[in-house]
Structure 1
Amino acid sequence: MGVDHPLSGSGLTLAVLDTNVILSPRLSDVLFDLHGAGLYFPRWTADIESEFLDHWAEVVLAKSKADRKTMRLAAADPVHLQLATRRLKCFRAAVGVEYEVFGYQRKSVMDRVPEKVDSGDKHLVAAALVLRDYCEPCDQIYLISDNTKHLAVKEVAALGIEVVKPGKFVDRLFAVAPDRVAAALERTITDLKNPPYTIGQLLGALQLHGASRVVSHFEKVWNLPSS
């Protein structure tokens, strides 16, 4: 079966997913269902997984700022770590062994990361550079992050890598493959049964991450009040 990635014409679409993207439960559900619909290939690294495990509890379980601070300062709870690891295993199973980017820590790669990229985020751009190096010119390489201000968007674009916020990425996919995006969102809703998650809640999560075009469309389709 051939690959049909609509953002890339005859090529592939590969996207490095920043930690802040996969930490968001509903956003990551949607992004992996979009992958399941055959719209792109998600990729990440050992460093991203390490950050995910470090911050999962404070992002997903904390009920307040005080809770987040407490969890951040406390020793890792084995139960929380087990839950976070289970979530990572779901991501890996959805993508397969090809999810992981290797070689991004090599000096020859890191030296090419623009100086304007924040020091704590250089590993993200380096991972995207590895993909750029090994892919064909017709392939599209994205770095998806909610923290684009630290990623020197213009300078990184000059290297053939597009840095975008997750909501904008979802909107772009919808613009070129609306039926497939709709099917992916319907799968997300169907799968979220324990606890159940409403269509309105899902669209609210997407609105939070900037998928304004998708949200506006499906509010009308599903007869929901506008955000």
Structure 2
Amino acid sequence: MFSAFFDTCVLFKPYLRDTILSIAEAGLYRPLWSTGVLEELERNLLERGVTGPQVRHLRNQLGVVFPGAEVTGYTDLIDAMTNDPKDRHVLAAAIRGGAEVLVTENLKDFPASSMQRYDIEAVHPDVFLLDQLDLAPRTVHKALRTQVSRYRHSPRSVGELLDILTNDSHACREFAAACRRDTMWRS
């Protein structure tokens, strides 16, 4: 099973986070993040008005559902990274965790020249989700149905979830369009 490292910007958006982690729960890949990413996520969520108890609950759930996903012991690699200085901790953790892909919306912060020697590719969440759909469409569709079944309020259907993932803040238009073309998700 391959490993994918997630940058804070991906984990910050609740429906995108839920989609990515629902697919991981289905066993398609092993998700990774770092202590630094989780600390940044916590700061950003608190700034957006999420309460401390809600943030602690999220971090706890991430650890319970995905034990071993939190990469530690990467700080010694940070200074050797050549990508954007503010995101060197992200690449260092991805390398230490053995990730094959680094999923981020900030692709400009991870130029290929900084990634090639470590055999890691930076990909946008839309591309990552499309790859998962191509690899295992039935599993992805089942994960999406499971995801929406957990919500008490909207979105209550996969179609409503895909509408959310299509909007500007989530920007997973290609993934949503591919799911809509496939009638499997409607069953």
TM-score by length of 1: 0.73
> What amino acid is aligned across from residue 128 of structure 2 in structure 1?
F
Tell me how many residue pairs correspond in the alignment: 181
Aligned to 2:155: 197
Larger Rg belongs to: 1
Aligned to 1:95: 66
What's the CA shift for 1:129? 1.3
Aligned to 1:124: 90
Residue 178, structure 1, aligned to residue 137, structure 2: yes
Q: Equivalent residues in 2 for 1:79-158 (5 A)? A: 80-96=51-67, 98-106=68-76, 109-114=77-82, 117-132=83-98, 141-158=100-117
Cα distance change on mapping 1:123 and 1:202 into 2, 3 Å = same
What's the CA shift for 1:90? 1.5
Residue 20, structure 1, aligned to residue 13, structure 2: no
1:108-162 deviations in Å (ceiling 9; x for gaps): x224312xx1111000000111123xxxxxxx61111111111223431332011
Segments of 4+ in structure 1 off by > 4 A? Answer: none
Q: Distance in 2 between matches of 1:44 and 1:35?
A: 13
Q: Distance in 1 between matches of 2:51 and 2:162?
A: 27
Aligned to 1:45: 34
Q: Distance in 2 between matches of 1:37 and 1:47?
A: 26
Q: What is the DSSP-based 3-state SS (H/G/I as helix, E as strand, rest coil) of the residue aligned with 2:100?
A: strand
Q: What is the DSSP-based 3-state SS (H/G/I as helix, E as strand, rest coil) of the residue aligned with 2:44?
A: helix
Q: Equivalent residues in 2 for 1:207-226 (5 A)? A: 207-208=166-167, 209-220=170-181, 221=183
Cα distance change on mapping 1:110 and 1:217 into 2, 3 Å = closer
Q: Distance in 2 between matches of 1:87 and 1:157?
A: 33
Q: Distance in 2 between matches of 1:207 and 1:161?
A: 27
Q: Distance in 1 between matches of 2:52 and 2:143?
A: 29
Q: Distance in 1 between matches of 2:172 and 2:116?
A: 21
What's the CA shift for 1:210? 4.1
> What amino acid is aligned across from residue 69 of structure 2 in structure 1?
Y
Q: CA RMSD in A?
A: 2.0
Query: Quick one: percent identity of the two aligned structures?
Result: 25
Contact map agreement 1:165 1:210 (CA 8 A) in 2: no
Q: What is the DSSP-based 3-state SS (H/G/I as helix, E as strand, rest coil) of the residue aligned with 1:15?
A: strand
> What amino acid is aligned across from residue 61 of structure 2 in structure 1?
C
Gap regions ≥5 residues in structure 2: none
Gap regions ≥5 residues in structure 1: 1-11, 62-78, 133-139
Aligned to 1:163: 122
What's the CA shift for 1:23? 1.0
